Amino acid sequence: MNHFHGRLPPNIGHTLPNLQFFLGGVNNFSGPIPISLTNLTSLVNVDFKENSLTGQLPVNIGKLRGLIRLNFGSNLLGTGEASDLGFLPSLSNCTSLQVLSIDNNRLGGELPVSIANLSTQLWILTMGGNLLKGSIPVGIGNLVNLTLLAIEENNLTGSVPKDIGNLQMLRQLLLSRNGLSGSIPSSFGNLTQLISLSVAENRLEGSIPSSLGNCRNLISLNLSHNFLKGTIPKEVIGLSSLSISFSASHNSLSGSLPLEIGDLKNLEELQLSENKLSGRIPSTLGNCLSLERLRMAGNFFQGTIPESLSDLRGIQEMDLSRNSLSGKIPEFLTKLSSLYFLNLSFNYLTGEVPKEGIFRNATAVSLRGNSKLCSDDQELELSACHEQGSPTSGKSLSGRDVALIALAIVVFLPLSVFCTLYWLRCRRRNSTTTASPSSEEQLSEISYLELLKATDGFSSDSLRGVGSFGSVYKGTLYKDGSIVAVKVLNLHERGASKSFITECNALRNIRHRNLVKIISACSSVDPQGNDFKALVLEFMPNGSLEEWLHPNIDEKHEVRKLSIGQRLSIAIDVAFAMEYLHHHIQTPIVHCDLKPSNVLLDEDMIAHVGDFGLAKFLYETTESIQAMSAGLKGSIGYIPPGMCKKISFCFYWKAAIEEITYT
Which range is least confidently modeled, 11-25, 146-160, 458-472? Answer: 458-472
Residue 27 pairs with which residues in a beta bridge? none
Considering the domain 437-539, what is its CATH architecture?
Answer: 2-Layer Sandwich (3.30)
* Whether the Cβ atoms of residue 230 and residue 255 lie closer than 8 Å to each other: yes
In angstroms, the CA 632 to CA 241 distance is 63
Which range among 121-125, 126-130, 135-139, 461-465 shows the weakest confidence by mean pLDDT? Answer: 461-465
- Torsion angle, alpha carbons of 505, 506, 508, 511, to 10: 160
Model confidence at 78: pLDDT above 50: yes
Q: What is the pLDDT, as a whole number, of residue 253?
A: 97
Q: What is the CA radius of gyration of the chain?
A: 29
Lowest-pLDDT range of 69-83, 106-120, 335-349, 552-566? 552-566
Shortest CA distance to 137 belongs to which of 169, 118, 173, 163?
163
Rounded Cα distance, 312 and 129, in Å: 37
The class level of CATH for 1-180 reads alpha beta
Per mean pLDDT, which range of 63-72, 443-452, 537-546 is the poorest? 443-452
Write the CB contacts of 391 (distance below 8 Å, at least 6 apart in sequence): none
| pLDDT for the residue numbered 645 | 46
Residues of the chain with CATH 3.30.200.20: 437-539
Is 205 in contact with 227 (CB distance < 8 Å)?
yes
The predicted structure's pLDDT at residue 512: 84
Position 506 scores a pLDDT of 60
Whether pLDDT at 422 is above 60? no
What H or E segment, with its residue span, contains residue 474? strand 470-476
Please tell me whether the overall predicted TM-score, pTM, comes out greater than 0.85 for this model: no
Q: What pLDDT does residue 493 have?
A: 61
Pick from 231, 242, 177: nearest CA to 209: 231
**The predicted structure's pLDDT at residue 520:** 86
Give the model's pLDDT for residue 523: 84
For the chain, give every residue range classified as CATH 3.80.10.10. 1-180
Report pLDDT for 440. 41
Instruction: Give strand pairing partners of 277.
Output: 255
Say which residue, 430 or 118, is predicted with more confidence: 118
| 295-328 residue pLDDT tens | 999 999 999 999 999 999 999 999 999 999 999 9
Q: Is the pLDDT of residue 503 over 50?
A: yes
Rounded Cα–Cα distance for residues 49 and 110 (Å): 22
Taking the C-alpha atoms of residue 570 and residue 544, their distance in angstroms, rounded to an integer, is 11
Mean pLDDT of 81-107: 96
The residue type of 489 is L
Please list, residue by residue across 510-527, b when 16 or more beta carbons sit within 10 angstroms of its beta carbon and e when fewer do: bebebbbbbbbbbbeeee
Residue 171 exposure: Cα atoms within 13 Å on the Cβ side = 6
Which range among 142-146, 395-399, 598-602 has the greatest average pLDDT? 142-146
The predicted structure's pLDDT at residue 424: 41
Q: Which residues 6+ apart lie within 8 Å of 95 measured at CB?
A: 65, 119, 121
Cα gap 359→362, rounded to integer Å: 6
Domain boundaries for CATH 1.10.510.10 within the chain: 405-434+540-663
Helices (H), 434-516: 448-454, 496-507
Length of the chain: 663
Spatial CB neighbours of 481, under 8 Å, sequence gap ≥ 6: none
Active site residues: 593
* pLDDT for residue 389 is more than 90: no
* Amino acid letter for position 490: N
Short-list 52, 20, 5, CA closest to 33 = 52
pLDDT of residue 466: 79
d(CA 290, CA 242): 11
Q: Which CATH superfamily is domain 405-434+540-663 in?
A: Transferase(Phosphotransferase) domain 1 (1.10.510.10)
pLDDT tops 50 at residue 392: no
Dihedral sign for Cα atoms in the order 617, 619, 622, 624: negative
- Is 252 in contact with 274 (CB distance < 8 Å)? no
Separation of alpha carbons 292 and 307, rounded Å:
17
Q: What is the pLDDT of residues 146-181, one digit of tens each?
A: 999 999 999 999 999 999 999 999 999 999 999 999
Distance of alpha carbon 345 from its chain centroid, rounded?
20
Cα 536 → chain centroid: 12
Among candidates 444, 428, 581, which has minimal Cα distance to 515?
A: 581
Residue 548, SS3 per DSSP: helix
Instruction: Please give the share of the chain, as a percent, with pLDDT higher than 90.
Output: 56
User: Cβ(95)–Cβ(119) under 8 Å?
Assistant: yes
Q: Which of 6-20, 96-110, 366-380, 615-629 has the largest mean confidence? A: 96-110
Mean pLDDT of 485-493: 81
Nearest to 591 by CA among 518, 650, 520, 642: 650
Q: What is the mean pLDDT of residues 606-615?
A: 75
